[in-house]
Structure 1
Amino acid sequence: MIQVWSTDITYVPMKRGFLYLVAVMDWYSRYVLSWQLSNSLGIDFCLEALEKAFQHGNPEIFNTDRGAQFTARKFVAKLQERNIRVSMDGKGRALDNIFIERLWRDVKYNQIYIYNNKDGKSLYEGLKQYFLLHNERKPHSSLNYRTPAQVYFEILEK
């Protein structure tokens, strides 16, 4: 049974400004279900990430912060159409979404800050490799030294 997914956006510093990265993650397994990169903070890239995540099924609960993209009627409606309960973090409480905040720290310190991405394309390719590594090859101590993919797909088999 898939219980809780969460999403968040992080800013990625580039030579000229920022790009924006959104991810949808399964809390229990830490499996990154989907992610999208955008040059604007509009809602569209968040909706695209949500639709891609739905290819994995539906959670019981979907947790977000109170960002404009996630409180937008269009975003909330997508969840409600699937009878998914919406959970929003307390105002100013990043630790309510600790798993995805930890993901952002790891992404930034193990990918973004190490590799000087000259443009969006090189950033995208680096992130694609990073999330593959995160899901398929990186064991987590909190998962009994299994990878997020091993744990996530075990859940689906039950």
Structure 2
Amino acid sequence: MKIPLVSKNEKLSLVKQCELLSIPRSCFYYTPRGRSELDLVIMRLIDEIYLENPTMGSRRMSKEITKTHKIKVGRLKIRRLMREMCISAIYPKKNLSKKNPEHKIYPYLLRNLSIDRVNHVWSTDITYLRLEDGFVYLTAVIDWYSRKVLSWKLSNTMEVEFCKSVVKEAIEKYGAPEIFNTDQGSQYTSEEFTDLLKNNNIKISMDGKGRALDNIFVERLWRTVKQEEVYLRDYRGIKDARKSLKKYFEYYNTKRRHQSLDDEYPEDVYYGRIQSKMAS
């Protein structure tokens, strides 16, 4: 993709140039990765294997792909691809998320907390999403009490603005939650992101180090989306993915019954038509 009207040499900032030209910043910052077909195959296998067994780290993942799928791939390459895909094994360990040591880490506020109302706790995360000839990132905001997906977005990059925009959209539509939970990734610990929460009087909660299960409802959402939607499609590109996911999330919120909600719909629970019984 070429964006010829945007220049790094102009006096105006890149952000301002993109705003004036109505060009999404992600379009400018995106550089085609030139991924080989083999890399894309390996990334698809990582995604599918991780979905079945999220405790599998780079060493076991490397052995599984090499022995089961007959693709010889080293642990270091698997580790690099897993990081790029926002994937890390779920067990107490050194956190593989890219943290910035200068950013403040906030405590986890949800342990033993009784979540008994909508907009009590929201959370967000990012996941890898495969395309026919590449991949993009999907992020979403979910209300813990009702399981309703409040907003979602796709992007070619994981920059802070991508993460902020999905939260801004949710707040504009539904007001602010009392608590917002994230992992300790640098996008979420940045002042730019945490200031958005503070300015809306939202308490900040962050997963414990190496504890992806602290954000369990988003992890479950990714599993459901991939099993029921992504793996059944071959998105031709980001536009195709966006169109199909829009239909899926509408279905997820309004027509998919959730066992954890006594087989009710998230939309009904969120708007008080049905009372939820929080389930872990």
Whether these two folds match at TM > 0.5 is: yes
Task: Write the letter of the residue equivalent to 1:52.
Answer: E
8 Å contact 2:131–2:235 — kept in the other structure?
yes
Instruction: Please say if 1:34 is aligned against 2:165.
Output: no
Q: Which residue of 1 aligns with 2:269?
A: 151
Q: Which residue of 2 aligns with 1:88?
A: 206
Instruction: Please say if 1:68 is aligned against 2:186.
Output: yes
Task: Write the letter of the residue equivalent to 2:153.
Answer: Q
Q: What is the alpha-carbon distance in structure 1 between the residues aligned to residue 220 and residue 126 of structure 2?
A: 12
Q: Which residue of 1 aligns with 2:242?
A: 124
Compare CA radii of gyration and give the structure with the larger one: 2
Instruction: Please say if 1:77 is aligned against 2:204.
Output: no
- Post-superposition offset of 1:47: 1.1
- Post-superposition offset of 1:91: 1.2
Instruction: Please say if 1:101 is aligned against 2:219.
Output: yes
Question: Taking CA–CA contacts closer than 8 Å with sequence separation of 6 or more, which of the two structures ends up with the larger relative contact order?
Answer: 1
Instruction: Please say if 1:44 is aligned against 2:168.
Output: no
Instruction: Please say if 1:6 is aligned against 2:6.
Output: no
Instruction: Please say if 1:134 is aligned against 2:252.
Output: yes
| 1:102-139, Cα deviation, whole Å (9 max, x unpaired) | 00001111111110111111100111011001101111
TM-score by length of 1: 0.94
Instruction: Please say if 1:53 is aligned against 2:170.
Output: yes
Q: How many residues align?
A: 155
8 Å contact 2:256–2:265 — kept in the other structure?
yes
SS at match of 1:34: strand
Task: Write the letter of the residue equivalent to 1:26.
Answer: D
- Post-superposition offset of 1:15: 3.4
Q: What is the alpha-carbon distance in structure 2 between the residues aligned to residue 94 and residue 109 of structure 1?
A: 19
SS at match of 1:10: strand
Q: What is the alpha-carbon distance in structure 1 between the residues aligned to residue 121 and residue 202 of structure 2?
A: 10
Q: Which runs of 5+ in 2 are unaligned?
A: 1-116, 274-280
Q: Which runs of 5+ in 1 are unaligned?
A: none
Q: Percent identity?
A: 50
TM-score by length of 2: 0.54
8 Å contact 2:150–2:170 — kept in the other structure?
yes
Q: Which residue of 1 aligns with 2:51?
A: none
SS at match of 2:164: helix
Task: Write the letter of the residue equivalent to 1:70.
Answer: Y
**Which structure shows the higher strand fraction?**
1
Q: What is the alpha-carbon distance in structure 2 between the residues aligned to residue 43 and residue 16 of structure 1?
A: 25
Q: What is the alpha-carbon distance in structure 2 between the residues aligned to residue 16 and residue 145 of structure 1?
A: 37
